[in-house]
Structure 1
């Protein structure tokens, strides 16, 4: 039996290696869209060097892998970075970068981006009209517009574009969080916010279909993470009622239900789209299951059992969640934990490189993606 186990392990490794090399040769570029979970520098470029209070471009951001801030909202690499590495491609440059070749891919994601175009009329209804439009006001439609503007520099004819994009991997990253978040912070309840889910899911599905019509044959579309487990939300949207919290995770039930509703509807929309385009490989990438698992059993995944699940590594909030907008990560004098890899959450909203790495592995090889990116099925 021991020899059989060794044989099975060796066979598994051989098949894994075969799948890895196959995918490396299959994709010649990556094009990604999304928000701060995917942004590799566009937010910083849009803000410009004259924005002194852009704390995401200050140390300790980037400390773990790059050794300096790169515009990524983490201590190191993001899921999209690990995907690029696994496919043998360079880390994606932000699409707004100058003097940059995009032949092997571009990242159109922007921190704070929404799925829906932010509406002044909507924001006027929130918190007595006190909620302002995001400074850059970037939506998925804007990112798709940037992609359309870039296409002539990548391919010169419809046939050439079809062949070029047919060899690319497209990633539509986590979108919807900001749409829901701004309405929640604006004073609306979860029940009211849930009415936005179908519109947001339809927008993401329509964007996916647009990319298919542009020539994409392989698309990864991400769900959203459990909003109720983010330290920032646990502070901003805290409840005095113990029944509003999940007993096994300590996360907010209503926000997590909102995330689940979004993901269920998105997954179903992608299945429908897959039936319409049977020759296209559409992968639903699950961000909820791994992150809720980290919250429920942090030690099982290599995180600290006391603070690693729901406490931000970088922040000046102290207390249970270590989050305070007046002492946010990157601000002068704000501290950072000694070992980011022991934490799930980096700054109260975004994840650490260690958490992103575990999610990326699950997207690449399973079980968090359907089908996994590196699978040959």
Structure 2
């Protein structure tokens, strides 16, 4: 059975293979849901290497799913189940076969699952993400080092592909056979030395020395423990999914206030070249499937809005309340990144290189927050201090004086530039479909 989920209309799906249970607590402990459906029902999913089991707690055996952003099952993990069961025969076969055995990721706080506290410890910098309310939504209130109230996009992707959450390289003590996360919050794509040119005594230590190049070095340190011969490594990494990014938000954030917009625009091509070279480097190690994300609209991020609080009214986009010029830099970044990805695809036709979007998703959520279940004041963060957008440089999320919104799922932004689990949820749904579609295209070519 194939359902075109891109149609902009509601469809009713019947799941004949689903198992109906009294409650999701009756499902094996490996089921990381429930998520509530529009009817008040719950859905749980279990995935093994050979099968998908969908458990539904409801009176009837039907549920309503809407196309595009009107989908009434708002869970990326649930969407993964629907993708497997309903998307297309090729995609279904691809996921059932278990296309990936591991995930390796490079990036910043949009991807970091726990390296940040270790790195900050090296520099004797206290990391507020290790205090509540970080982790409040999914991790039983226990901070994990994620800059979020719950899961990130990469967490949803891992769950949707039937893999464990990707462990942080610097703090995980177990095996990395199923993947490793090298991303670190506050990381830049460009080497940190670029941002410290001309620094005098007492200058800000940020950005730290945790750029993409450093993270690639950690990956190459780990590699001998995963495989030895060239062929063994090619075979191993051919079954891995690689995330190269998101990079850029910190490169530009650290430059605002220190450089002119013209100077910032000038180094955008250098950053894109660095990301492209990073992708080439992992391809050289045998990677066959890469995800390279674009950037969020930084002109919508509350920290950037506060940085330019004295901007003239004409400098804001009237439809979003976001700053135009920072977003124009991001649009340049994303455009050049797409061009670089096209060149990589042409150079490596046997490698699947997937470009994923952040800019349009976040822009849509800012423009039409209620469509996603968010409150109208979309630029107001959930966790922060007194001030416009609930963002305060002196009282940040995790500080004793900070306050947290009652329901993070009603907010787009969590603590500043970072998004809530609910927002990542929607984004992950699209990314997972993009990944599956790319695998399907590769399988049929």
TM-score by length of structure 2 reads 0.77
Alignment partner of 2:386: what SS?
A: coil
Q: Determine the C-alpha separation between the residues in 2 that align with 1:77 and 1:288.
A: 19
- 1:365–1:374 Cα contact (<8 Å) kept: no
Deviation at 1:325, TM superposition (A): 1.5
Q: Determine the C-alpha separation between the residues in 2 that align with 1:140 and 1:50.
A: 18
Deviation at 1:35, TM superposition (A): 0.3
Pair 1:219 & 2:287 matched = no
What are the residue-to-residue correspondences of 1:183-332 with 2, within 5 Å?
A: 183-186=255-258, 188-305=259-376, 307=377, 309-319=378-388, 321-332=389-400
Which residue number corresponds to residue 156 of structure 1? Answer: 228
Deviation at 1:339, TM superposition (A): 0.7
Deviation at 1:123, TM superposition (A): 2.6
Post-superposition CA distance 1:90-139 (Å, at most 9, x none): 0011011242110000000001111111126x43447x887523263211
Q: Determine the C-alpha separation between the residues in 1 that align with 2:107 and 2:122.
A: 23
Post-superposition CA distance 1:335-363 (Å, at most 9, x none): 10001011110001100000011111111
Q: Determine the C-alpha separation between the residues in 2 that align with 1:372 and 1:207.
A: 24
Within the candidate set 126, 130, 133, 1:57 is matched to: 130
Where does structure 1 differ by over 3 angstroms across 4 or more consecutive aligned residues? Answer: 5-15, 48-53, 128-131, 371-377
Within the candidate set 405, 413, 429, 1:337 is matched to: 405
- 1:363–1:372 Cα contact (<8 Å) kept: no
Q: Determine the C-alpha separation between the residues in 2 that align with 1:10 and 1:98.
A: 41
- Indicate the RMSD between aligned Cα atoms, in angstroms: 2.4
Q: Which has the higher helix share?
A: 1
Moved more, 258-267 or 176-185: 176-185
Q: Determine the C-alpha separation between the residues in 1 that align with 2:327 and 2:263.
A: 15
Point out which structure has higher relative CO (alpha carbons under 8 A, 6+ apart): 1
Pair 1:75 & 2:149 matched = yes
Q: Determine the C-alpha separation between the residues in 1 that align with 2:390 and 2:407.
A: 15
Within the candidate set 115, 123, 128, 2:189 is matched to: 115
Q: Which has the higher strand share?
A: 2
- 2:116–2:127 Cα contact (<8 Å) kept: no
Which residue number corresponds to residue 45 of structure 1? Answer: 118
Which residue number corresponds to residue 5 of structure 2? Answer: none
Alignment partner of 2:104: what SS?
A: strand
Q: 1:374 to 1:158 in 2, by over 3 A?
A: closer
Q: 1:81 to 1:20 in 2, by over 3 A?
A: farther
TM-score by length of structure 1 reads 0.90
Pair 1:168 & 2:237 matched = no
Which residue number corresponds to residue 351 of structure 1? Answer: 419
- 2:95–2:161 Cα contact (<8 Å) kept: yes
Deviation at 1:50, TM superposition (A): 10
Moved more, 52-61 or 332-341: 52-61
Q: Determine the C-alpha separation between the residues in 1 that align with 2:182 and 2:261.
A: 30
- 2:207–2:254 Cα contact (<8 Å) kept: no
Moved more, 237-246 or 289-298: 237-246
Which residue number corresponds to residue 27 of structure 2? Answer: none
Q: Determine the C-alpha separation between the residues in 1 that align with 2:344 and 2:320.
A: 34
Which residue number corresponds to residue 48 of structure 2? Answer: none
Which residue number corresponds to residue 36 of structure 1? Answer: 109
Which residue number corresponds to residue 71 of structure 2? Answer: none
Alignment partner of 1:30: what SS?
A: strand
Post-superposition CA distance 1:57-92 (Å, at most 9, x none): 100001011021000000000011011001000001
Alignment partner of 1:111: what SS?
A: coil
Q: Determine the C-alpha separation between the residues in 1 that align with 2:284 and 2:395.
A: 45
Which residue number corresponds to residue 365 of structure 1? Answer: 433
Post-superposition CA distance 1:197-248 (Å, at most 9, x none): 0000000001101111110000000111000000111101224311100010
Q: 1:272 to 1:352 in 2, by over 3 A?
A: same
Q: 1:322 to 1:6 in 2, by over 3 A?
A: closer
Alignment partner of 1:196: what SS?
A: helix
- 1:166–1:216 Cα contact (<8 Å) kept: yes
Q: Determine the C-alpha separation between the residues in 1 that align with 2:100 and 2:400.
A: 42
Which blocks of at least 5 consecutive residues in structure 2 are unaligned? Answer: 1-8, 16-81
Deviation at 1:46, TM superposition (A): 2.1
